[in-house]
Amino acid sequence: MKKSSIAFWTTTILGPASFVIGGVLELQRGPEVVATLNHLGYPVYFAAPGLRRVKEWAYAGFVFDLTAAAVSRAAVGDGAADIIAPLVFLALVLASWALRPASRRLAGAAAADRASVSSVEGAFVPVPVEG
Protein backbone atom coordinates (compact mmCIF):
# COMPACT_ATOMS: atom_id res chain seq x y z
CA MET A 1 0.00 0.00 0.00
CA LYS A 2 1.30 3.48 -0.85
CA LYS A 3 2.26 5.92 1.89
CA SER A 4 -0.33 8.40 0.64
CA SER A 5 -3.04 5.74 0.82
CA ILE A 6 -2.03 4.80 4.36
CA ALA A 7 -2.01 8.45 5.36
CA PHE A 8 -5.46 8.94 3.81
CA TRP A 9 -7.02 6.00 5.64
CA THR A 10 -5.31 6.84 8.92
CA THR A 11 -6.60 10.41 8.89
CA THR A 12 -10.01 9.33 7.61
CA ILE A 13 -10.43 6.92 10.51
CA LEU A 14 -8.79 8.96 13.28
CA GLY A 15 -10.38 12.30 12.40
CA PRO A 16 -14.01 11.23 12.83
CA ALA A 17 -13.06 8.90 15.69
CA SER A 18 -11.74 11.88 17.64
CA PHE A 19 -15.08 13.65 17.19
CA VAL A 20 -16.95 10.57 18.42
CA ILE A 21 -14.68 10.21 21.45
CA GLY A 22 -14.94 13.95 22.17
CA GLY A 23 -18.72 13.79 21.85
CA VAL A 24 -18.97 10.89 24.28
CA LEU A 25 -16.77 12.73 26.79
CA GLU A 26 -18.89 15.87 26.45
CA LEU A 27 -22.12 13.94 26.92
CA GLN A 28 -20.69 12.46 30.11
CA ARG A 29 -19.70 15.94 31.30
CA GLY A 30 -16.58 14.60 32.94
CA PRO A 31 -14.49 16.83 35.19
CA GLU A 32 -11.97 17.55 32.40
CA VAL A 33 -14.76 18.76 30.11
CA VAL A 34 -16.30 20.94 32.82
CA ALA A 35 -12.88 22.38 33.72
CA THR A 36 -12.15 23.19 30.07
CA LEU A 37 -15.54 24.83 29.55
CA ASN A 38 -15.12 26.90 32.74
CA HIS A 39 -11.62 27.91 31.65
CA LEU A 40 -12.92 29.07 28.26
CA GLY A 41 -15.83 30.90 29.87
CA TYR A 42 -18.55 28.73 28.35
CA PRO A 43 -21.57 27.42 30.24
CA VAL A 44 -21.56 23.71 31.07
CA TYR A 45 -24.57 23.06 28.83
CA PHE A 46 -22.36 23.74 25.78
CA ALA A 47 -21.01 20.21 26.23
CA ALA A 48 -24.47 18.68 25.97
CA PRO A 49 -27.26 21.21 25.87
CA GLY A 50 -29.97 18.95 27.24
CA LEU A 51 -33.43 18.54 25.83
CA ARG A 52 -34.59 22.02 26.74
CA ARG A 53 -31.89 23.58 24.62
CA VAL A 54 -31.67 21.11 21.75
CA LYS A 55 -34.45 22.83 19.81
CA GLU A 56 -32.79 26.23 20.26
CA TRP A 57 -29.53 24.80 18.96
CA ALA A 58 -31.40 23.21 16.05
CA TYR A 59 -32.90 26.56 15.12
CA ALA A 60 -29.46 28.16 15.37
CA GLY A 61 -28.00 25.44 13.16
CA PHE A 62 -30.61 26.07 10.50
CA VAL A 63 -29.91 29.81 10.64
CA PHE A 64 -26.16 29.23 10.22
CA ASP A 65 -26.64 26.68 7.46
CA LEU A 66 -29.20 28.60 5.41
CA THR A 67 -27.38 31.91 5.79
CA ALA A 68 -24.14 30.27 4.67
CA ALA A 69 -25.94 28.69 1.73
CA ALA A 70 -27.22 32.05 0.51
CA VAL A 71 -23.82 33.72 0.98
CA SER A 72 -22.07 30.85 -0.79
CA ARG A 73 -24.46 31.09 -3.73
CA ALA A 74 -23.88 34.84 -3.95
CA ALA A 75 -20.10 34.43 -3.65
CA VAL A 76 -19.90 32.19 -6.70
CA GLY A 77 -22.16 34.45 -8.75
CA ASP A 78 -25.28 32.29 -8.84
CA GLY A 79 -28.54 33.84 -9.94
CA ALA A 80 -31.05 35.55 -7.69
CA ALA A 81 -33.33 32.49 -7.50
CA ASP A 82 -30.48 30.34 -6.13
CA ILE A 83 -29.60 33.00 -3.57
CA ILE A 84 -33.19 33.68 -2.53
CA ALA A 85 -34.21 30.00 -2.15
CA PRO A 86 -32.28 29.38 1.10
CA LEU A 87 -33.40 32.79 2.36
CA VAL A 88 -37.04 31.75 1.90
CA PHE A 89 -36.41 28.64 3.99
CA LEU A 90 -34.55 30.82 6.49
CA ALA A 91 -37.62 33.05 6.76
CA LEU A 92 -39.75 29.97 7.47
CA VAL A 93 -37.34 28.81 10.18
CA LEU A 94 -37.29 32.26 11.77
CA ALA A 95 -41.09 32.44 11.64
CA SER A 96 -41.33 29.00 13.28
CA TRP A 97 -38.92 30.12 16.00
CA ALA A 98 -40.79 33.40 16.62
CA LEU A 99 -44.22 31.73 16.64
CA ARG A 100 -43.40 28.75 18.88
CA PRO A 101 -45.61 28.41 21.95
CA ALA A 102 -44.38 29.67 25.33
CA SER A 103 -44.01 26.07 26.53
CA ARG A 104 -41.31 25.56 23.90
CA ARG A 105 -39.36 28.73 24.62
CA LEU A 106 -36.02 28.67 26.36
CA ALA A 107 -37.10 31.47 28.70
CA GLY A 108 -39.39 29.01 30.47
CA ALA A 109 -36.49 26.63 30.93
CA ALA A 110 -34.19 29.33 32.30
CA ALA A 111 -36.22 29.70 35.49
CA ALA A 112 -35.84 26.00 36.21
CA ASP A 113 -32.10 26.25 35.53
CA ARG A 114 -31.63 28.98 38.13
CA ALA A 115 -32.24 26.49 40.89
CA SER A 116 -30.42 23.57 39.33
CA VAL A 117 -26.83 22.57 39.77
CA SER A 118 -24.72 20.09 37.89
CA SER A 119 -22.79 17.56 39.92
CA VAL A 120 -19.48 16.23 38.63
CA GLU A 121 -17.87 13.54 40.79
CA GLY A 122 -19.05 15.07 44.02
CA ALA A 123 -18.27 18.68 43.12
CA PHE A 124 -21.17 21.01 42.55
CA VAL A 125 -20.85 23.35 39.62
CA PRO A 126 -23.57 26.01 39.26
CA VAL A 127 -25.32 25.97 35.91
CA PRO A 128 -24.93 29.47 34.41
CA VAL A 129 -28.12 31.21 33.37
CA GLU A 130 -28.31 33.94 30.78
CA GLY A 131 -30.13 37.02 31.83
More confident residue, 110 or 91: 91
Residues facing residue 95 across a β-bridge: none
Instruction: Return the top range by mean pLDDT from 15-29, 58-72, 97-111.
Output: 58-72
Give the tens place of pLDDT for each residue, 38-81: 888 888 777 766 666 777 888 888 899 999 999 999 999 999 99
Question: What is the pLDDT, as a whole number, of residue 9?
Answer: 81
For residue 117, give the H/E element and its range. strand 117-120
- What span, in angstroms and rounded, lies between the C-alpha atoms of 71 and 131? 32
Q: Is 108 in contact with 17 (CB distance < 8 Å)?
A: no
